[in-house]
Structure 1
Amino acid sequence: MANQSELLPRESLLWIFAAQFAALLPHFAQLPLWIVCAWAFAVYWRLEVFRGRRDLPGRTVKLLVVGLTVAGLALSYRRWFALEPMVALLAISFTLKNLELVSRRDAFLSLLLAYFVAATLFVYEQTIPYALYGTVCVVVVTAALAAQLGHFSARPRRALGLSLRLLAQAVPLMLLLFIVMPRLGPLWAVPQNNSGTTTGISDSMTPGDFTRLSKSDKPALRIAFDGPIPPPEQRYWRGLVYADFDGRRWSQGFGVDPREGGVVRWQGREQKLPEVGPRYRYRVIQEATNNPWLFAMARPISDTRGVGETADDRLLKKRPVYNRFAYDVRSWPRETLTDDRELSDFEYRRYLQLPRGGNPRTRAWAEEFHASGLGAEEISAHVLKYFNRSFTYTLKPPALGADSIDDFLFGSQQGFCEHFASSYVFTMRAAGVPARVVAGYQGGEWVEQEEYLLVREYDAHAWAEIWLPGRGWQRVDPTAAVSPERIRDGLQSAAADEFMQDSLLQLHRISVLNRLRLEWDMINYRWYQTVVSFDSDKQENLLKKLLGEVSPLRLAAFIAVPVALALTGMLLWLWLSNRGRRLPPASRLYQKFCRRMARAGIARRPGEAPRDFARRVGIEMPALAPMVERITAAFERAAYGEDPAAEKQLRRLLRQWSPRANFVFGRTADGGRIATGE
């Protein structure tokens, strides 16, 4: 049991609960509701204990509570070794600590745990708002630590002021460590729960999927080019290839996804690609998707660690993209390369696969093309011409029946990109031409100030590729035959009347807000480029600019000099602040009295109390004792009793009295000094 002097006062408890609330608040939206309620109940119980209405729970109750929380975690999460249950376990441990919050030691332990809970915020997001809120959390937790020093320190203004001063002093060291500390990979990895995709394109496509994505204006990709920028009609960012069709749903098919045995080349292409000639170099910053696929133009190669290429011209990451991820890509336009290889029997069957039945009109129409002996490009031209003749591009297409391809081609003739791509690939396969659906993004908004391409979710797009002997896979976009402005100018131009129509306030139509939104994205882009993506390569380049050559001696000097300057500046500031600090008037008057006594031969000793000094003066100079006693009594009333009349009396006594003016000092037999009357 803690000593009575170590028990937590009310102000300390309130500061601890404030720090806990600040650290847990961003997690309330992700944690199960029962954990939030458990924390609130634990705080309520501890306050009742402080008021004397409840007792702290005993060991049996604690064991029961621990058992219930473990059971709750097991029921709330399907797997234990993942990020979300680990954060939940930390939060529930944080909560249960309130049931044994008794002494200052418990308080310090709880507040140190609060730093860890606040740090878990950055596992999910590293954006500017999260960084600002994380800073607020650190300020509050540090203020709560300062409040544990005593009643006076627990005052909000003093605790927050001390916290801000401590953190301000730590900022130079933080910046120095940010620059010089080696960028190490994690010692272990805890996977996130990927039960749902954060944003973006899924691993299958049915009618209406891309229409839903068109309602979101969240950023998906930011692409900065090193060299030429592709024209709008070449800005196709491929991410997924759909090969299997069951009559309504397109999917990748077995053996394509690496999670199902698909082959990925992690060490570069086996095929030799030219080092010179037309190509694009660019860096993609991709938002979190909780999926492994990345987005790039055709024929991509990436030297970024952990990124590989697939046989169907895509990029994949070894682990899902749980957080914003940057990767470098080189791409070659397909028309600049030749592809003499032939499709294997397996590939040929895969890209001609169709369901056994369904859509009889489309099959009969395609069979006419095949029977007439037309080539693949001629068949494609006929289908595109048919699209161009009477089809309508719309974000609100009508529902389709069981034979969705027939209903679209010969019925509604209104659709979005997935309708055109799906029906085109079905027709080409039925006509004997290998074809596949490709999903990704098309277009993007060029941000002139920062020189990057901003691709949003509503830029999601689906198109087709057909196999041509001697030329390989060639891109065909049926949407371009119906709505070329969609490819040239973007979705907002192609579907101006329907674009973001379901948005509550129609904010996208206000130019000022669009400009502010773009400015905010530029700020986020700079933040990621400068802070979040500051990896070992950027660190080495920065140190080379600062030091010329990165050597242990120069690095040590680079660390030592700022630290020495900071310590010198801190000591100088303390000296100047102490020197410039004005004493209360009574203390200044008493110091004046002490200086007079020192000149008279009796100096006040360091740490000697005023009453003790007066007693010693009375022993050494009895003649001065009455006046010194009056001066000391007036000082004590003025300084400790805050009596204005006593301060005036002290001032009057010192103005009228001087020990040298009233007494003559002689020598004693042993050489000492003695006061005698005039």
Structure 2
Amino acid sequence: MESSERLPRESLLWIFAAQFAALLPQFAMLPLWIVGAWGFAVYWRLEVFRGRRDLPGRTVKLLAVVVAVGGLALSYRQWFALEPMVALLAVSFTLKNLELVSLRDAFLSLLLSYFVAATLFVFEQTIPYAVYGVICVLVITAALAAQTGSAGARPRRALGLSLRLLAQAVPLMVVLFIAMPRLGPLWAVPQNSDAASTGISDSMTPGDFSELSQSDEPALRMSFEGPVPPPEQRYWRGLVYSDFDGRRWSQGFGVDHREGGRVHWKESERPLPEVGPRYRYRVIQEATNSQWLFAMVRPDSPTEGVGETADGRLLKRKPVYSRFAYEVRSWPRETLGEPMPLGDFERRRNLQLPADGNPRTRAWAGEFRDSGLDAEEISARILQFYNRSFVYTLKPPALGEDSVDEFLFGSRQGFCEHFAGSYVFAMRAAGVPARVVAGYQGGEWVEQEQYLLVRQYDAHAWAEIWTPARGWQRVDPTAAVSPERIRDGLQSAAEEEFMGDSLLPLHRISVLNRLRLQWDMINYRWYRAVVSFDREQQESTLQRLLGEISPLRLAIFLLLPVAAVLLGVLAWIWWNGRGTRAPLSSRLYRKFCRRLARAGLERHPGEAPRDFACRVGEQRPELAPMAERITAAFEKAAYAGDPAAEKQLRRLLRRWSVVRGRQ
């Protein structure tokens, strides 16, 4: 390949800067060997430019491809997922750097950079990621502009051109964002379901919820259309645990949708009550990497891809890999009239207990059953027992094999999962169908934006029991021990222990707490206005702008900004002269020619600068030295692209003006 076709140093540096900007957020998720291999490939290519090494041959390239594919196969168990696809793009960067020689190679590498920058928004759609994504596009476009030549590779010029191009694209981007039809994805690439996530698990053991109490990350945001439920009714159901193995509560067969639990995905399959819903609200749920959603009791959601289970919960057809918004209508159970009878299988499932273990609790609950008390009376006795001598704490002692016995008749210190689990065990031992429900309880009302903010530390577990007269009804044993937990939240109920393991207890610093809440409000507005801009919001916005949505008005709405941009470009061209603006060296030389014309030495059309300088020397010998120097500086600046010659040309013109002024 000819040396003139090879990439100059500035072009290489811009390409590597664009790759680094696109890959930087991915470094924490990529395997370390990919990060190291990319850095080594960049180092090798720079060494090739310096002449210290040669480009690798075909055999070495083939070996590098085989090693890279093997590394991907060992690093990722699932190939068709988002993380290995991003890793494949990073490997493409690495391998392409080994043969980054021509301008075509540069364009291909930068095109890959745009794709990698776009993958950022699959993982996160927050404001910081959006700002960083814009910076990435700015750097990549500047790197693209830098490939046009040495003058275009200067940072100020390349970034300036990139900024102007992006600014010109903003009006069209806004119009397309508002007017383009909201289509579903043509395909879906799953994310890594094994990725770490904070939230409620599909099983519960003692200590799980107390761990969540140490996290103040947002979990849910809810805005209401109409009345807002009072604090004592803010129970957001997500999971039902019906199976107990002596220590761990889980959903079990027939409840878990993965083990035979029925889900009504179509709205026509979900018979709705004749009375209207009491609450209508919109939930914005953070990523959980799980399918369960959270809502009040007896929910129904018209959102596409959301179904309802037989026990009154909501599920998403695919896991919630990123922030997800859905509409909900809820009917409190007391508004629904006569309950459906409990089937034999459902009764057996909600009376299930291990064959042995926790003998004291079994005997204690058996006394209630043998005394002839009904379900509500048994429940009242157990709640009175909790109320007399139990302590609500975020740091309960560890429990042994007979965990229920040790808690009820030993430690008597626990968190919500201890109270809910032991209560359901005792009710089942007394012959009353019962189950554990997990979700969130409470939330912080944000007055400025009118929404309820539920954090991870609001995670809660409670119970439901079945009676013939009322069907399934909620019972919260925690309320019998610590009613302020339900009324005022965890921070009020356990003020001394709340977030006690945090290095910096931000919740105790009022200024930082207010700033944190303000930041959450900004994120809430961002998600509602941008990220969750769905078809319904689009139609509402277009109706406000156009009055009536019709093809003609939509066409006018789309074409007007384009016409405005074109008129602006034409006006700019007219203002700055026809065609593209001449380089600075040509403008300075024309200035020199105009001065000579005023002195009676006009340059002829088509006359070369060197010929003109010779004619000036013949007609005006006293101007010959300066004309020669100015012409030489112009030729170096215009034809050789020498920045120093351009500065020299400017200085000579200033000095020549001074000399002529003295004459």
DSSP 3-state at the match of 1:326: strand
Does the 8 Å CA contact 2:252/2:259 hold for their aligned counterparts? Answer: no
Partner AA of 1:588 in structure 2? K
Show the counterpart of 1:260.
259
After superposition, the Cα gap between the structure-2 partners of 1:496 and 1:638, relative to the gap in structure 1 and judged at 3 Å, is same
Does the 8 Å CA contact 1:436/1:466 hold for their aligned counterparts? Answer: yes
The CA distance in 1 between the partners of 2:294 and 2:532, in whole Å, is 18
Alignment of 1:454-603 (within 5 A): 454-577=453-576, 587-594=590-597
DSSP 3-state at the match of 2:148: coil
Q: CA deviation at 1:105?
A: 1.4
After superposition, the Cα gap between the structure-2 partners of 1:278 and 1:651, relative to the gap in structure 1 and judged at 3 Å, is closer
Q: CA RMSD in A?
A: 2.3
Show the counterpart of 1:298.
297
Partner AA of 1:33 in structure 2? L
Show the counterpart of 1:674.
none
Alignment of 1:265-276 (within 5 A): 265-268=264-267, 270=269, 272-274=271-273, 276=275
The CA distance in 2 between the partners of 1:576 and 1:271, in whole Å, is 66
The CA distance in 2 between the partners of 1:645 and 1:164, in whole Å, is 33
After superposition, the Cα gap between the structure-2 partners of 1:223 and 1:645, relative to the gap in structure 1 and judged at 3 Å, is closer
* More displaced 10-residue stretch of structure 1: 251-260 or 29-38: 251-260
Partner AA of 2:514 in structure 1? R
Does the 8 Å CA contact 1:11/1:154 hold for their aligned counterparts? Answer: yes
The CA distance in 2 between the partners of 1:584 and 1:654, in whole Å, is 21
After superposition, the Cα gap between the structure-2 partners of 1:608 and 1:230, relative to the gap in structure 1 and judged at 3 Å, is farther
Deviations 1:483-521 (A, max 9, x none): 000000000000000000000011211000000000000
* More displaced 10-residue stretch of structure 1: 205-214 or 165-174: 165-174
Show the counterpart of 1:665.
none
Does the 8 Å CA contact 1:233/1:487 hold for their aligned counterparts? Answer: yes
Show the counterpart of 2:346.
347
Does the 8 Å CA contact 1:278/1:336 hold for their aligned counterparts? Answer: no
The CA distance in 2 between the partners of 1:645 and 1:311, in whole Å, is 88
The CA distance in 1 between the partners of 2:589 and 2:657, in whole Å, is 8
After superposition, the Cα gap between the structure-2 partners of 1:7 and 1:373, relative to the gap in structure 1 and judged at 3 Å, is same
Does the 8 Å CA contact 1:425/1:464 hold for their aligned counterparts? Answer: yes
Show the counterpart of 1:282.
281
After superposition, the Cα gap between the structure-2 partners of 1:271 and 1:146, relative to the gap in structure 1 and judged at 3 Å, is closer
* More displaced 10-residue stretch of structure 1: 531-540 or 260-269: 260-269
DSSP 3-state at the match of 2:96: helix
Partner AA of 2:487 in structure 1? R
The CA distance in 1 between the partners of 2:570 and 2:43, in whole Å, is 45
Q: CA deviation at 1:570?
A: 2.4
Does the 8 Å CA contact 1:614/1:629 hold for their aligned counterparts? Answer: no
Partner AA of 1:500 in structure 2? M
Alignment of 1:32-47 (within 5 A): 32-47=31-46
Q: CA deviation at 1:594?
A: 3.5
Q: Does 1:627 align with 2:619?
A: yes
Show the counterpart of 1:637.
629
Alignment of 1:393-432 (within 5 A): 393-432=392-431
After superposition, the Cα gap between the structure-2 partners of 1:197 and 1:475, relative to the gap in structure 1 and judged at 3 Å, is farther
Alignment of 1:10-159 (within 5 A): 10-159=9-158
Partner AA of 2:413 in structure 1? Q
Q: CA deviation at 1:590?
A: 2.2
TM-score between both structures, scaled by the size of structure 2:
0.93
Aligned residues with identical type, % of pairs: 73
DSSP 3-state at the match of 1:50: helix
Show the counterpart of 1:337.
336
Q: CA deviation at 1:14?
A: 1.3
Which consecutive residues of structure 2, in runs of 5 or more, have no partner in the other structure?
Answer: 634-647
After superposition, the Cα gap between the structure-2 partners of 1:311 and 1:632, relative to the gap in structure 1 and judged at 3 Å, is farther
Show the counterpart of 1:450.
449
TM-score between both structures, scaled by the size of structure 1:
0.91
The CA distance in 2 between the partners of 1:486 and 1:165, in whole Å, is 55
Q: CA deviation at 1:575?
A: 3.5
Q: CA deviation at 1:637?
A: 2.6
The CA distance in 1 between the partners of 2:78 and 2:523, in whole Å, is 34
The CA distance in 2 between the partners of 1:647 and 1:382, in whole Å, is 101
Show the counterpart of 1:161.
160
Partner AA of 2:175 in structure 1? L
Partner AA of 1:163 in structure 2? S
The CA distance in 2 between the partners of 1:635 and 1:275, in whole Å, is 96
Deviations 1:558-593 (A, max 9, x none): 111111111211232344355999997764352144
Show the counterpart of 1:249.
248
DSSP 3-state at the match of 1:329: strand
The CA distance in 2 between the partners of 1:307 and 1:548, in whole Å, is 32
The CA distance in 1 between the partners of 2:632 and 2:550, in whole Å, is 60
Does the 8 Å CA contact 2:465/2:473 hold for their aligned counterparts? Answer: yes
Does the 8 Å CA contact 1:301/1:309 hold for their aligned counterparts? Answer: yes
Partner AA of 1:539 in structure 2? Q
Show the counterpart of 1:664.
none
